[in-house]
């Protein structure tokens, strides 16, 4: 947990060095610099991805979007689109980039439709790798994808073949956080059953989704409990909304049905709050760290290996060629 930093002045104490203030200094510098975060959303259209993104970050990123009809979408391949928005809250600046994958899973034949998504992720790694190895590293732009929210349809009986293929193609390139979309379609019992089924299938197919770091043994019980609940909530059953409705005298973000009002931020209704807290308030940094330390490093190692192999091959070829000429 983030313990509040106590900044005590111990100047009188001769043995006090003072680097306990380091976190504070880092904190201050980062605040000045600002943070960035790249979030990818993937899943077939109509699962509420855009609405959820807008709800999570209280923005209206998709204001001018035009929905294509079935005829228009026939020739669509999977596109990759980027929307960037600068958000500031209490003096902290966040440059948020949302990467969307319109067209995913929409065709009749969706063979390898994840390829453009995988290629995009690799391209960002490649660009970073180049920049990192380059001479001028002052203003490296980090466009690497830190997290991919994968939307699972609530209408299936668990994971569909496309879901499995996508996640397996990407689980070693990006942090996958599965969400159960449009969860207001399901009764509480159905949500529970589906979550269990999906978790079982994820394990069964060997899909490596983002793992929440285990909390330290010295954390307090409350935090441990929260952490445990978080792990049990996967996939997050989410509902998004761009409209405010009146419920019990208060105004809430929600969806108005003839049979009742779904409140997006009510933990009894869905896991929206859990997801938002996880994504923004507790695990944003960890998501970035895992991207840097694991996914990117894997890519880099592979890259270097294949480059080395190519170099060796080329050298051997030249050598053989030269030898051949000598003879």
Partner 1 sequence: MSKTEDVPNMLISDMRTEIPFVRPKPAVPAKPPNVGAPSPSSPFPPQGLGVGGGGISAPPPSAIPVPIGSHGGSHSVGHGIGHSVSHAGSHAAPHSGGHGHGGSHSSSGGSTLLGYIGIDTIIEQMRKKTMKTGFDFNIMVVGHSGLGKSTLVNTLFKSQVSRRSAGWARDEKIPKTVEIKAVSHVIEEGGVKMKLTVVDTPGFGDQINNDNCWEPISKYINEQYEKFLKEEVNITRKKRIPDTRVHCCLYFISPTGHSLRQLDTEFMKRLSHSVNIIPVIAKADTLTIEERQEFKQRVRKELEMSGIEFYPQKEFDDDMEDKSDNDKIREAMPFAVVGSDKEYQVNGKRVLGRKTAWGIVEVENPNHCEFAQLRDFLIRSHLQDLKEVTHNIHYETYRAKRLNENGGLHPISSADTQESNL
| Footprint on this chain of partner 1 (rule: CB under 8 A) | 45-47, 67-71, 73-74, 106-111, 113, 153-158, 160-162, 165, 182, 184-188, 197, 255-263, 268-269
The single residue listed with the structure tokens 């030898």 is 323
> Least separation, in Å, of the C-beta of 231 and partner 1?
22
> For partner 1, which is the closer residue by CB, 56 or 113?
113
Contacts of 149 (CB under 8 A, 6+ apart): 39, 40, 41, 42, 49, 52, 177, 178, 179
> Least separation, in Å, of the C-beta of 74 and partner 1?
6
| Spatial separation of the C-alpha atoms in residues 310 and 279, rounded to whole Å | 40
Contact in structure between 54 and 62 (CB atoms under 8 Å) = yes
> For partner 1, which is the closer residue by CB, 96 or 152?
152
Crossing angle of the two packed helices 115-133 and 161-170, in degrees rounded to 10: 10
> For partner 1, which is the closer residue by CB, 69 or 139?
69
| Spatial separation of the C-alpha atoms in residues 150 and 158, rounded to whole Å | 13
> Least separation, in Å, of the C-beta of 255 and partner 1?
6
Q: Give one word for 206, left, alpha or beta, with left for phi > 0 and alpha for psi -120 to 50.
A: left
> For partner 1, which is the closer residue by CB, 9 or 69?
69
> For partner 1, which is the closer residue by CB, 158 or 178?
158
> Least separation, in Å, of the C-beta of 282 and partner 1?
25
| Spatial separation of the C-alpha atoms in residues 109 and 283, rounded to whole Å | 36
> Least separation, in Å, of the C-beta of 222 and partner 1?
25
Contact in structure between 100 and 81 (CB atoms under 8 Å) = yes
Q: Please give the structure tokens belonging to residue 296.
A: 């990117």
> Least separation, in Å, of the C-beta of 15 and partner 1?
57
> For partner 1, which is the closer residue by CB, 3 or 111?
111
Q: How many CB atoms lie within 10 A of CB 237?
A: 28
Coil vs helix vs strand at 35: strand
């Amino acid at each position: 947990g983030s313990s509040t930093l106590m900044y005590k002045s111990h100047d009188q104490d001769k043995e006090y060095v003072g680097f306990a203030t380091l976190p504070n200094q880092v904190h201050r510098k980062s605040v000045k610099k600002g943070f960035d975060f790249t979030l990818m959303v993937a899943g077939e259209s109509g699962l509420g991805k855009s609405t959820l993104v807008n709800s999570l970050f209280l923005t209206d990123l998709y204001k001018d979007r035009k929905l294509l009809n079935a005829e228009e979408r026939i020739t669509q391949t999977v596109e990759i689109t980027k929307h960037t928005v600068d958000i500031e809250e209490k003096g902290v600046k966040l440059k948020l980039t949302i990467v969307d994958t319109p067209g995913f899973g929409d065709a009749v034949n969706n063979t390898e439709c994840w390829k453009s998504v995988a290629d995009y992720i690799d391209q960002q790694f490649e660009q970073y790798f180049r920049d990192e190895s380059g001479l001028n590293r002052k203003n490296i732009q980090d466009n690497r994808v830190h997290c991919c929210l994968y939307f699972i349809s609530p209408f299936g009986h668990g994971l569909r073949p496309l879901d499995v293929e996508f996640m397996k193609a990407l689980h070693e390139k990006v942090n996958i956080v599965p969400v159960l979309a449009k969860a207001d379609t399901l009764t509480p019992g159905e949500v529970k059953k589906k979550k269990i089924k999906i978790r079982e299938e994820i394990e069964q197919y060997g899909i490596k989704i983002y793992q929440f770091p285990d909390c330290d043994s010295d954390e307090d019980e409350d935090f441990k409990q929260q952490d445990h609940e978080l792990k049990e909530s996967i996939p997050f059953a989410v509902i998004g909304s761009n409209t405010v409705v009146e419920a019990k005298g208060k105004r809430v973000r929600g969806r108005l049905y003839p049979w009742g009002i779904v409140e997006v931020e009510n933990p009894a209704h869905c896991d929206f709050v859990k997801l938002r807290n996880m994504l923004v308030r507790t695990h944003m940094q960890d998501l970035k760290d895992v991207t840097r330390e694991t996914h990117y490093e894997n890519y880099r190692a592979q890259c270097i290996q294949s480059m080395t192999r190519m170099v060796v091959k080329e050298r051997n070829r030249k050598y053989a060629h030269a030898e051949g000429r000598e003879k």
